Structure 1
Amino acid sequence: MSKQLEGKTAVVTGGTTGIGLGAAKRLAEEGAHVFLIGRRKEQVDAAVAEIGADATGLVGDVTSSDDLDRLYEAVKARGQGLDIVFVNAGGGEFATLEQVTEKHFDDTFGLNVKALLFTVQKALPLLNEDASVILNASTAATRGAKAFGVYGASKAAVRALARTWAAELAERKVRVNAISPGPIETPGITGLAPDAAAADELKAEFARSIPLGRMGRPEEVGNVVVFLASGASSFMTGADVFVDGGLNQV
Structure 2
Amino acid sequence: MSRNIVVTGAGSGIGEMAAKLVVERGDVAIGLDLKNAEFEVDLSNQDSIAQVVEQVSAKYGTVDGVIANAGTQTNSPLDLKVNYFGAVDTVRAFLPLLQKSENARVAITASGASLQPTDTNLVQLLLDDKREEAIEYGKSLQEQGPEIGYTNYSASKRAIATWVRRVAPTDEFAASGIGINAVGPGVVATPMTTELLSTEEGRALAFGAMPAPYNGALRPEDVADVLVFLVSGLNRSMTGQIIYIDGGFDSIRRGEDIWHAPKSMDQ
Q: TM-score scaled by structure 2? A: 0.74
Amino acid at match of 2:180: V
Amino acid at match of 2:63: L
Give the secondary structure class of the aligned counterpart of 1:245: coil
CA-atom RMSD in angstroms: 2.0
Instruction: Quote the offset at 1:64 in angstroms.
Output: 2.2
The answer as to 2:65 corresponding to 1:67 is no
Query: What does the per-residue CA deviation read over 1:116-155, in whole Å, with 9 as the maximum and x for residues that have no partner?
Result: 1110111011011321111111000112386532211111
Gaps of 5+ in 2: 119-146, 253-267
Aligned to 1:8: 3
- Flag the 1:174–1:203 CA change in 2: closer, same or farther, 3 A: farther
Query: 1:141 & 1:189 partners in 2: Cα distance?
Result: 18
The percent of aligned pairs where both chains have the same amino acid is 31
Instruction: Quote the offset at 1:87 in angstroms.
Output: 0.6
Amino acid at match of 1:120: V
- Flag the 1:155–1:178 CA change in 2: closer, same or farther, 3 A: same
Give the secondary structure class of the aligned counterpart of 2:243: strand
Aligned to 1:143: 116
Matches within 5 A, 1:55-204: 57-94=38-75, 104=76, 106-127=77-98, 128-144=101-117, 147=148, 148-168=150-170, 169-190=173-194, 196=195, 198=196, 200-201=198-199, 204=203
Query: 2:245 & 2:202 partners in 1: Cα distance?
Result: 17
Query: 1:167 & 1:130 partners in 2: Cα distance?
Result: 16
Q: TM-score scaled by structure 1? A: 0.79
- Contact 1:9–1:80 (Cα < 8 Å) also in 2: no
- Flag the 1:125–1:154 CA change in 2: closer, same or farther, 3 A: same
Query: 1:199 & 1:79 partners in 2: Cα distance?
Result: 40
- Contact 2:107–2:227 (Cα < 8 Å) also in 1: yes
Aligned to 1:235: 237
Aligned to 2:22: 27
Instruction: Quote the offset at 1:229 in angstroms.
Output: 1.2
- Contact 1:139–1:242 (Cα < 8 Å) also in 2: yes
- Flag the 1:223–1:69 CA change in 2: closer, same or farther, 3 A: same
Aligned to 2:134: none
The answer to which structure has the higher strand fraction is 1
Give the secondary structure class of the aligned counterpart of 1:36: strand
Matches within 5 A, 1:209-224: 209-224=211-226
Instruction: Quote the offset at 1:203 in angstroms.
Output: 5.3
Query: 2:117 & 2:20 partners in 1: Cα distance?
Result: 32
Amino acid at match of 1:133: V
- Structure 1 runs of 4+ aligned residues shifted over 4 Å read none
Query: What does the per-residue CA deviation read over 1:56-83, in whole Å, with 9 as the maximum and x for residues that have no partner?
Result: x112211122322232223212344111
| Count of residue pairs brought into register by the alignment | 215
Query: 2:64 & 2:103 partners in 1: Cα distance?
Result: 7
Amino acid at match of 1:156: R
